[in-house]
Every structure is written in structure tokens, then in C-alpha cells.
Amino acid sequence: QVQLVESGGGLVQPGGSLRLSCAASGIVSRFYVMGWYRQAPGKQRELVATITRGGITNYGDFVKGRFTVSGGDVKNTVYLQMNSLKPEDTADYYCNARDPDEHWGPGTQVTVSS
């Protein structure tokens, strides 16, 4: 059974940076897509960034060049470099992968506040 776990979340000041990591285990084949979604309290889960096995990336509209997703392919790991963080980025961030079944990590909390 595939398991995903996120790390790297925490409290940062506006304008700061964080790097999230997602580690996978129980894998027998490569993922088609890996990436990140986020959910703030009372809101729907939304796309942050994904990367395909071929290295094609996709970003949510709110990122506007601030975030970079990397990893995937044979490593079966994914990272999210977040720069110029804003208070509205505060949310739980979840790792996602498809093989082609969908898998989710338990989430890591990111809080952006002065």
C-alpha cells in the first residue's frame, strides 16, 4: 500500500520562505503525477503545483512565480519551494500522487503571520 508523508511546514513571517518535502513508501511502480494541494479552514482544497513523470509542471493561479515544484519521476518524492509567502498562503498542505490510483498524505501546516 502506498503511503505519503509531508514535512517542512511551520510558522514563517510574510515574505519568508519554506521548503516542503513529501516522502513516499510502499511503492512498486513510478507515479504518473505528484504534487501539492492546500486547504484553509472552511475552504475547498485547491491545486498548488504538480509535476508529471515527464517533468511537466502545473501551478495554481495564485502562485504567480513564487512557488517551484520539483522531484517526481524515479525518485517518487516531491518538493515545494515557497518564496515570498503571504498571510493568505496559510493552510494545510497535502501531498498527492497518482499511479494512476490517487493517494494523499496526512498534511503539514503552514502559517504565515507577523
pLDDT tens-place string over residues 45-90: 999 999 998 899 999 998 879 999 998 766 688 999 999 999 999 9
Write down the pLDDT at residue 74.
65
Do residues 45 and 94 touch, judged by C-beta distance below 8 A?
Answer: yes
Q: Kindly give, in sequence order, each residue whose CB lies less than 8 Å from that of residue 19, ignoring residues fewer than 6 positions away.
A: 8, 79, 80, 81, 82
Write down the pLDDT at residue 78.
94
Write down the pLDDT at residue 73.
66
Write down the pLDDT at residue 28.
64
Which whole number is the average pLDDT over 36-47? 96
Write down the pLDDT at residue 54.
87
- When pLDDT is cut at 50, 70 and 90, the band that residue 111 belongs to is very high
